[in-house]
Amino acid sequence: MLHKFEIKTSSRTQMLDITDKISAIVAKECLENGIVVVHIPHTTAAVTINENADPDVQSDMTRFMDELIPQKNWFRHMEGNSDSHIKSSLFGCDQTIIIENGKMVLGTWQGIYFCEFDGPRTRKVFVKLMG
């Protein structure tokens, strides 16, 4: 079962909580036990799992990444977004989550985040359920 949805970002670097969208897909398919794979088919975006209780965590992460890997004019890639490619590779384009008793197995404070590093843009998110 493959699902796809689009997400619109509003800034160059941004983390958007997509946990509810993924949970809704899992619930719709009534998969009791298995896995869900979240895939981001972009070279300047990523997906990660992190804390979803305090929005300062996402702010801290995006600020740290922008300071660690700033947008510089000395990168050789002519599109001016080499920093975005590096950040995407560091975070990764996939997350796999266990489904048990019809629900994703996430920690109390965990959420699934779409990570934008070259926005604003309209992006695709693919969700594959296997059980």
What CATH number did the domain enclosing 111 receive?
2.60.120.460
Mean pLDDT of 53-77: 88
Q: 7, exposed or middle or buried, with CB in 10 Å at 0-12, 13-18, 19+?
A: middle
- Predicted pLDDT of residue 95: 98
- Considering the entire predicted model, what is its pTM? 0.94
pLDDT in tens, 66-110: 999 988 777 777 777 888 999 999 999 999 999 999 999 999 999
Whether pLDDT at 42 is above 90: yes
Number of domains in the chain: 1
Mean pLDDT of 5-13: 97
* Choice between 122 and 1, residue whose per-residue pLDDT is larger: 122
Give CA 124 to chain center in angstroms.
10
Range of the domain at 126: 2-130
Q: What is the DSSP string of 18-48?
A: -HHHHHHHHHHHT--SEEEEEE---TTEEEE
